[in-house]
Structure 1
Amino acid sequence: MQGINRTRHKALMTLVHQLDEVLNTKDYDIAYDPSQIRQMEELLAHYEKLLEELQVCIGTYEELYKSVRFKTLAPLCRKLRKEGEELPQINGQALRI
């Protein structure tokens, strides 16, 4: 799955508007469904809103990840090593914080 390419969308909308002007100035028996164009615009707006929400989600996750890793686990691991405890292993390798 790919994201929506804003450049392609903008180029398509420019073409639609240019062709619309041509169709309005001449008497062509060609029509398109403008509701599809509106739907594409609405979907792009929704997509961009979701991307903004995703950015906030990722930023919040990264802050929590760093907090847990460096403020919680790192001091705990240092204390365990100091006391001679062996740290848990992940995939056969010692845990490194």
Structure 2
Amino acid sequence: MGLSNQFQNKNGFLTQLRHQLDVVEIRNDQLARLFCKVIPAHCPFERTISILGRTLFHIPPLCKLNPFYEQVVSLRFKCLIYLADECGEDVTKYC
């Protein structure tokens, strides 16, 4: 098996996994709450490093490098919508 075949197999697997995350339907309020707590509302990696009020350097958000970033954010959004629309819950505590 050549290198291009390995890449295609991995790429096909990633594509299939992304699709599976896209089609998940949320129908359980406890699971929705768990996902809203576990999946952060913003990229947790972005940081500005300062000492004595002077910025030394800035670490940009690296979430976009995650191949599943869009799907995970979409899943969190589905959970928020489910909790707000179906359960009538105030979702501002997850923002």
**Structure (1/2) with the larger helix percentage:** 1
TM-score w.r.t. structure 2 length? 0.32
Q: Which has the higher contact order (CA 8 A, sep 6+)?
A: 2
**Structure (1/2) with the larger strand percentage:** 2
